[in-house]
Amino acid sequence: MKTKIFKDYEELSTNTANEILAVVQSNPMAMLCLASGDTPRLAYMLAAKRAKEGNIDFSRCTFVALDEWMGIPPANEGSCQFFLRRYLFDPLNIPERNINFFNAVSSDPDEECKKMNDVIARKGGIDLMIVGIGMNGHIGFNEPGQAFDQYAHVVDLDETSRTVAQKYFRESTQLSKGLTLGLRHMLEAKKVLLIASGLKKAEIIEKTMGEEISPKIPSTSIRNHPNGYVMLDKEAASLLSAKSM
Ligand code: F6R
């Protein structure tokens, strides 16, 4: 794992967009797995804009969503699906057959997990995975305590995630479970970018880099990834010592 520190959110986003474009240019049939949330928003907007300007063809890539709020339909603006469509898939006109989401309103969530596991396995794994980090160190919805060797699964969201996530919804929304790819998917991905921005993430980034690698802080798992990058703006990196980078 390596750490990269950028001046600010804009520079972090530009470099994240560069990574997306580079993977697609070198492998037009790449499989990309993407988080939603505030952190990657600008990177996706920039990637979509530059792909259009530069005629970079995303039409043969496969996309897989990292996670979804159980019970929240895709038309809800707070859903991960709504976000990815709005900022990336719609602007790029990605063919529907190339997009894979968890169906959050399915009556059989375990089957949804199996479906995602199968899609990823059939493609031979994820080429590029972009993840954010929760205030509790979650990756996707792998909350503290989740084993590193799991593929997709259903999780009970913890109190921090349920509270922080209200920022995505127009109205106060009852969230209790999530569907998520597992940390094993991340550890097996060919390349992973964990991106974080702002002072509010500084403390969990310090723990991610400095504390023992353990399911107590799921984000520490990225330190086991030989091609993992922790990409930060200066504020998110502000508590890191040279030793932990
Ligand atoms: C969302 C996801 C979450 C977020 C994390 C950070 O798809 O996987 O793990 O990446 O909660 O969210 P933001 O970027 O909003 O701070």
CA-angle at 122, arms to 225 and 195, nearest 5°? 35
**Ligand 1 atom at minimum distance from 83 CA:** 7
Q: Is 186 exposed, middle or buried (0-12, 13-18, 19+ CB in 10 A)?
A: buried
**C-alpha to C-alpha distance for 195 and 232, rounded to whole angstroms:** 6
**Of 38, 32, 143, nearest in space to 94 by CA:** 32
Measure 36 CA to ligand 1 centroid, in angstroms. 6
Residue 241 lies in a domain: no
Strand, coil or helix: 43? helix
Residue 240 lies in a domain: no
Measure 37 CA to ligand 1 centroid, in angstroms. 5
**Ligand 1 atom at minimum distance from 131 CA:** 10
**Of 108, 39, 44, nearest in space to 70 by CA:** 108
54-76 burial, b at 16+ Cβ within 10 Å, e below that, comes to eebebeebbbbbbbbbbbbeeeb
* Active-site entry in 19, 68, 112, 138: 138
Residue 116 lies in a domain: yes
235 is catalytic: no
Range of the domain at 140: 2-233
Give the pLDDT of residue 174: 96
E strand spans, the chain:
2-6, 31-34, 62-65, 67-69, 99-100, 128-131, 153-156, 177-180, 191-196, 228-233
Strand, coil or helix: 207? helix
Query: Structural domain tally of the chain?
Result: 1
pTM over 0.85: yes
Q: Which two tokens stand for residue 6?
A: 């950028």
For atom 4 of ligand 1, the residue with the nearest CA is 132
Mutation pick for ligand 1 pocket among 72, 85, 129, 139 (CB with most ligand atoms within 8 Å): 139
Give the pLDDT of residue 41: 98
CATH number at residue 124: 3.40.50.1360
**C-alpha to C-alpha distance for 30 and 62, rounded to whole angstroms:** 6
> Residue-wise pLDDT tens for the chain (245 aa)?
999 999 999 999 999 999 999 999 999 999 999 999 999 999 999 999 999 999 999 999 999 999 999 999 999 999 999 999 999 999 999 999 999 999 999 999 999 999 999 999 999 999 999 999 999 999 999 999 999 999 999 999 999 999 999 999 999 999 999 999 999 999 999 999 999 999 999 999 999 999 999 999 999 999 999 999 999 999 999 999 877 77
Measure 25 CA to ligand 1 centroid, in angstroms. 26
Give the pLDDT of residue 242: 78
Residue 245 lies in a domain: no
Residue 162 lies in a domain: yes
The C-alpha R_g of the chain, in whole angstroms, comes to: 17
Q: Name residue 179's beta-bridge partners.
A: 68, 154
Residue 8 lies in a domain: yes
Report the pocket of ligand 1 as residue ranges, CB < 6 Å. Answer: 35-39, 66-67, 80, 132-134, 138, 140
For atom 11 of ligand 1, the residue with the nearest CA is 134
143 is catalytic: yes
Residue 67 lies in a domain: yes
Give the pLDDT of residue 245: 76
Mutation pick for ligand 1 pocket among 133, 185, 200 (CB with most ligand atoms within 8 Å): 133
Measure 201 CA to ligand 1 centroid, in angstroms. 11
Asked whether the beta carbons of 212 and 206 are under 8 A apart, the reply is no
Residue 242 lies in a domain: no
138 is catalytic: yes
